Structure 1
């Protein structure tokens, strides 16, 4: 699998329009497997905008409303019942969200923590 490069510049917040976006790093105590990952959060409305690394980026993923390829990720562990696999904006420039669906139309779900750990090791 080839990964697309991460975004290099912060963008305007798609919620409030502010351009003052600071890059942050997930703390070492994160239990979702995201420790050390960079992300953008709006300094004005304080909302999480998205991770800004190559993890889950693939140029063949669906394009976002902003034209960037999307990033594949798994819903957080607080939603164990529905840990759905989905796509979000890889550049944190828009609020794109699209579930990964099977041929029958059902969302792909990561129902097993071992599967989720394998997914993480693969770069998703």
Structure 2
């Protein structure tokens, strides 16, 4: 499944019938990104996330907080995260983006965080799930109902980040 339009995103998140009149196309009025933001924030609250440094799953020491570069082109510019203090390895983003309570459960027993692979990776725009607490190595590809990889079109990355979907 490729997410290139608002309608694709609604189908991915809600299925074909959203059951919400704010998102259903009405006569000549189509849903918009603000409608989706309202529904997501009202009906699907995000899960918690680490707000203070966590123990590193690699070395056991307290992680350090960092901020992604303003030149980051993957929709993550200025995003806070935690990293290993000894190896500098990324552990987890320190925000609510992608923390949907309906995401698959990780090895820690928590709902996971939905994130997207970067522009310069083997599979750019591919969605996958990781541990939202940063405490385990959970990593699972996001697939649609037909078992296909879910790929985000670069033209909507900023919208999905604004909506905290990724």
1:13 aligns to 2:13 (yes or no): no
CA distance in 1, matches of 2:122, 2:75: 14
CA RMSD of aligned residues (A): 1.8
User: 5+ residue gaps in structure 1?
Assistant: none
Per-residue Cα deviation, 1:38-59 (whole angstroms, up to 9, x for no partner): 1011011211111010011112
Higher-Rg structure is 2
Query: More helix by proportion, 1 or 2?
Result: 2
Per-residue Cα deviation, 1:33-77 (whole angstroms, up to 9, x for no partner): 212211011011211111010011112211111122211111111
User: Normalised by the size of structure 2, how large is the TM-score?
Assistant: 0.66
1:4 aligns to 2:47 (yes or no): yes
User: Normalised by the size of structure 1, how large is the TM-score?
Assistant: 0.85
Asked if 1 retains the 8 angstrom alpha-carbon contact of 2:125 and 2:154, the reply is no
Query: More strand by proportion, 1 or 2?
Result: 1
User: 5+ residue gaps in structure 2?
Assistant: 1-39
CA distance in 2, matches of 1:54, 1:92: 13
Choose from 98, 112, 132 the match for 1:70. 112
Moved over 4 A (4+): none
Asked if 2 retains the 8 angstrom alpha-carbon contact of 1:40 and 1:51, the reply is yes
Choose from 118, 121, 124 the match for 2:162. 121
